[in-house]
Structure 1
Amino acid sequence: MFSTLAIIITLLLLMFFAYRGYSVLILAPIMAALAVLLSGDFLSSIPAYTDVFMGALSGFLLKFFPIFLLGALFGRLMADSGAATAIANTVVEKLGASKAILAVILVCGILTYGGVSLFVVAFAIYPIAKDLFKAADIPKHLIPAAIALGSFTFTMTALPGTPAIQNAIPIPYYNTNVFAAPILGLIGGTIMFVCGWLWLQSRARKANAAGEGYGQHDESDVGGVGGATAETDLLSTHHTSFTVAMIPLIMVISLNALLTYFIFPSMDFSGLQTQFPDLNIAGSLGLWSIIISLVVACIVLIVMRLGHWTNLQKTINRGTYDSMLPIFNTASEVGYGAVIASLAGFLIIRDGILNLTPDNPLISEAVAMTTLAGITGSSSGGLSIALSTLGEDYLRMAVAAGIDPELMHRVAVMAAGGLDTLPHSGAVITLLAICGLTHKQSYLNLAMVTIIIPLIAVVVVITLGTMFGSF
């Protein structure tokens, strides 16, 4: 009883202090130790940190560090080369200011689906979105929702092949790949995109009917946070064509698909299995595909822009540093989850979650993923904690129920993209700061397109998957 209560208390404290802006790097180990202490096991608090917490943290780094590193590097190369700006400008020119909302969503979607970090996208697109919305006289408070819809939803969790880390995390647990349940992913992604766009369009029309325009805003500090002005100035100094800019993005997805469906299936890995007897080949191929695709795309982008880089060394270093905080934040949350899972009280919570819908683990899985994503304020953090503690159980339940692991993969990722954008989410706080807006001004619409509509999409995918299986 005390152990279960300790888990609930520390989860609430983690959510509270994360909302207050404290780093998860220090919060996670403190809350893990506090959970052990409140459970009455005083002697175990230190080994719980040195062995359990750090063991889980290092295990997560071992699996996913290359993807975080390469993803951040690729995003920085796309931004500093001017490729991101070229894509944004072309889409805006084709659609025009009258379709400002759609233009912002599509630009963000193209960039994030191609592998550019959502934070890089937010910094790069905000100045363009601001000018578009002002020209169309659309309220500025809708900008965060438009950026979030294009960056935090369908391209992050639903579209098949997306290189987002959220789509990679289930691979070693379910022996799947980033193209898991592709048609269901497309259906879910379409629901998020279309319904989110229609919602924002309806809000814009309502504002227009009420005589509400862009509004008066102090925009002397472009981006709202330190470094944003420098970022946009750097982007504006580069020029490249839309076609050239799209090549690396297309390469990430196409090479990934080529490796997943043609090259790797035709190869004999028996020699590798002999050399590395503990290697899970099936669970590694999906990760290898992403790593190779991102490496090749980074090299191609660097070579394509040779002679045009302002400071290639600085860009590479910044891209490398950009990966550090996200991966250690997520790994720390995984460490916290491992400590929680080691407590006696977790058995009650685990059994309650697993038995929520014993005949359909898809529903239970979705509840677990989105709840933990909401508590941690992070889709990758919640997904990692849930799968590291319950992944084996869900795979066993799926096999027993005759459910394709690909369907479990897609539902897990999409569900993690539901409650991850509650008010304390770091991504939400950062996006609002970039736009120079507050929760009061923008959060309602942001929550509608990143929580309510994505959760509706999850329900649809679970329903279709239950009726027709994975496809």
Structure 2
Amino acid sequence: MIWNILGIVIAIIVLVVLIFKGVHMIPASLIASLVAIVLGGINIAKGINKGYMASVSNYVQQFFLIFFLSALFGAVMSDSGAASKIAHTLVAKMGKSSVILIMLLTSLILSYGGIMTYLVAFTLFPVALVLFKEADIPIKLFPASVLSIAATISMTTLPGSPQIQNIMPTTYFHTTIYAAPIIGLVCGVFVFVVNYLYLSHAQKQASAKGEHFVPMSEEDAQVVDVDSDNMNFWLSLLPIIVMLALIFFLKGRMDSNYSVEIAMFVANVLTIAMFFKRFKHLGNTIDTGTKNAMNAILTTACVVGFGGVVAISPAFTELTKQLWQNDSHIYLTSMIVTSIAAGVSGSSSGGLGIWLTAMGNHLATMNLNFAALHRLGVMSSGWTGMVPWSSGPVVASSIAKVQLKDSYPYIFVTGMVVPFIALVIGYLMFRVGLV
């Protein structure tokens, strides 16, 4: 068994090295998956078909329309000038020195409003392009500025968050999304403040090194140069407001994916209708959105495919089984199992799913503080769910057209180190009775 575990570790190392060498995620994930299959004791046919291909196809089937509509929304907001108007107005009101704070607050509003992490990245990127140009901030800081809030406190920490990670434990423990509010609020404020201070420091360091804003493509250069002086700020913001309002209105009335798809569709149609005369070539805008969507979803799906291979390996199954057989430290065990599962699979929701599927029904029969277990379990899925091969860093970096090796150092601090410290704080609060 030790050799099988070593094989999985080698496969993860291979994937990370290939990613940081700039190899595209599709061949990188395939090579790493083959290493995991051969060295991890997995049947080749089962590993390729049930592990990799099934995970990739299921992900594409479930999220293709959302990726397309969100990427299209980013394109129409950019080319219409609406994103540029929002950015210029925010900078004028709050100042160039507040760009990082503007990004974090906007990301918090959108993600806590229920918009999935990668949708926030798509939506904010055209706005960020203009903001970052105004403040002369390297675009490599964009992924961290989005994920440091959307993939941390909005996804796992703040009570009341409608994100799927915060909803999953309620089915097993009969808790609510407001479980352990004291832990959630204290840890959420901690992550926000520390990440803001860190990213502000990173911005100053980049400036001291002579690093500046540079558009990563011709399309991005066109976005920041869009004329929006004669546009109304509130009209530019209206599509986003309508999208958020629809998500809130439809929440609980239908499947969450459908509600987001409907909201994004309406937001796209509204943006095109309102600013139709401002599009130079609407066909080109749609083409850009489509290409961005295809690149993002295939890249992400391949990451999920690698996680699918690892999840069916005998070593991973046996390791998690051994961990959850110990009931004497059930809270710590649950946190460790969830963290490992999320890290190996590259998915916070995937890690939660593995933990809850394996342990949820058993835990529900025990005399436990389920509110604390809910919050600590969800928070455990977040920090390791930001490993280099997870969808968040890959998608956000892909949207910004920056290599992961350039953006990930900032993501590592804001998405893994700081949330891990918050998790420790949360656990200590639970131990002294603050839930």
Bin the TM-score by the shorter chain.
0.7 to 0.9
Compare 447-456 and 397-406 and name the one that shifted more: 397-406
CA contact 2:152–2:415 (8 Å) conserved in 1: no
Counterpart residue number, 1:317: 287
Counterpart residue number, 1:386: 351
Is 1:247 aligned with 2:238? Answer: yes
- Alpha-carbon shift at residue 422 of structure 1 (Å): 5.5
Counterpart residue number, 1:456: 421
Name the CA shift for 1:174/1:287 in 2 (closer, same or farther; >3 Å).
farther
CA contact 1:12–1:375 (8 Å) conserved in 2: no
Counterpart residue number, 1:21: 22
CA contact 2:194–2:418 (8 Å) conserved in 1: yes
Counterpart residue number, 1:132: 135
Secondary structure at the counterpart of residue 310 of structure 1 = coil
Q: Distance in 2 between matches of 1:186 and 1:422?
A: 27
CA contact 1:174–1:395 (8 Å) conserved in 2: no
Q: Distance in 2 between matches of 1:374 and 1:52?
A: 17
Name the CA shift for 1:465/1:308 in 2 (closer, same or farther; >3 Å).
farther
Is 1:74 aligned with 2:39? Answer: no
CA offset digits 1:275-322 (Å, max 9, x no partner): xxxxxxxxx722222222222222222222222222222222222221
- Alpha-carbon shift at residue 330 of structure 1 (Å): 2.5
Q: Distance in 1 between matches of 2:372 and 2:288?
A: 35
Structure 2 residue runs of 5 or longer lacking an equivalent are: none
Compare 95-104 and 291-300 and name the one that shifted more: 95-104
CA offset digits 1:83-139 (Å, max 9, x no partner): 221111111111123545434544565677785552664465245334435xxxxxx
Q: Distance in 1 between matches of 2:132 and 2:190?
A: 23
Secondary structure at the counterpart of residue 293 of structure 1 = helix
CA contact 1:80–1:315 (8 Å) conserved in 2: yes
CA contact 2:84–2:223 (8 Å) conserved in 1: no
- Alpha-carbon shift at residue 455 of structure 1 (Å): 2.9
CA contact 1:170–1:387 (8 Å) conserved in 2: no
CA offset digits 1:315-347 (Å, max 9, x no partner): 222222212222222322333233323332222
Amino acid at match of 1:229: A
Amino acid at match of 1:21: G
RMSD between superposed Cα atoms in Å: 4.4
- 1:148-187 alignment to 2 at 5 Å? 148=143, 150-159=145-154, 167-168=163-164, 180-181=177-178
- Alpha-carbon shift at residue 246 of structure 1 (Å): 1.9
CA offset digits 1:349-397 (Å, max 9, x no partner): 2224545777545x55655565566667xxxx43355356445225435
Name the CA shift for 1:187/1:216 in 2 (closer, same or farther; >3 Å).
closer
Counterpart residue number, 1:279: none
Amino acid at match of 2:361: R
CA contact 2:73–2:268 (8 Å) conserved in 1: yes
Is 1:9 aligned with 2:10? Answer: yes
Secondary structure at the counterpart of residue 261 of structure 2 = helix
Name the CA shift for 1:186/1:89 in 2 (closer, same or farther; >3 Å).
farther
TM-score for the superposition, normalised by structure 1: 0.70
Q: Distance in 1 between matches of 2:210 and 2:76?
A: 32
Give the fraction of aligned pairs with identical amino acids, expressed as a percent.
Answer: 23
Name the CA shift for 1:99/1:50 in 2 (closer, same or farther; >3 Å).
closer
CA contact 1:338–1:388 (8 Å) conserved in 2: no
Amino acid at match of 2:135: L
Q: Distance in 1 between matches of 2:238 and 2:326?
A: 46
- 1:373-412 alignment to 2 at 5 Å? 381-383=346-348, 385-387=350-352, 389-397=354-362, 399-401=364-366, 408=374, 412=378
1:258 pairs with 249, 252, 268, which one? Answer: 249
Q: Distance in 1 between matches of 2:327 and 2:25?
A: 32
Is 1:118 aligned with 2:109? Answer: no
Name the CA shift for 1:120/1:126 in 2 (closer, same or farther; >3 Å).
same
Amino acid at match of 2:417: I
2:271 pairs with 286, 289, 301, which one? Answer: 301
CA contact 1:144–1:431 (8 Å) conserved in 2: no
- Alpha-carbon shift at residue 415 of structure 1 (Å): 4.0
Amino acid at match of 1:315: T
TM-score for the superposition, normalised by structure 2: 0.75
CA contact 1:84–1:124 (8 Å) conserved in 2: yes
Amino acid at match of 1:345: A
User: May I ask how many residue pairs the two structures share in their alignment?
Assistant: 417
Q: Distance in 1 between matches of 2:231 and 2:209?
A: 34
- 1:340-359 alignment to 2 at 5 Å? 340-354=310-324
Is 1:93 aligned with 2:84? Answer: no
CA contact 1:109–1:155 (8 Å) conserved in 2: yes
Counterpart residue number, 1:228: 220
- 1:273-288 alignment to 2 at 5 Å? 285-288=255-258
Name the CA shift for 1:201/1:19 in 2 (closer, same or farther; >3 Å).
closer
CA contact 1:32–1:339 (8 Å) conserved in 2: yes
CA contact 1:25–1:329 (8 Å) conserved in 2: yes
Secondary structure at the counterpart of residue 278 of structure 2 = coil
Q: Distance in 1 between matches of 2:77 and 2:323?
A: 41
Name the CA shift for 1:420/1:373 in 2 (closer, same or farther; >3 Å).
farther
Name the CA shift for 1:71/1:406 in 2 (closer, same or farther; >3 Å).
farther
Structure 1 residue runs of 5 or longer lacking an equivalent are: 134-139, 265-283
Counterpart residue number, 1:416: 382
Amino acid at match of 1:399: A
Amino acid at match of 1:331: A
Q: Distance in 2 between matches of 1:318 and 1:238?
A: 24
Name the CA shift for 1:167/1:226 in 2 (closer, same or farther; >3 Å).
farther
CA contact 1:118–1:151 (8 Å) conserved in 2: yes
Secondary structure at the counterpart of residue 240 of structure 1 = coil
Amino acid at match of 1:50: N
Q: Distance in 1 between matches of 2:389 and 2:305?
A: 23
Amino acid at match of 1:301: T
- Alpha-carbon shift at residue 7 of structure 1 (Å): 1.6
Name the CA shift for 1:195/1:305 in 2 (closer, same or farther; >3 Å).
same
Q: Distance in 1 between matches of 2:314 and 2:405?
A: 41
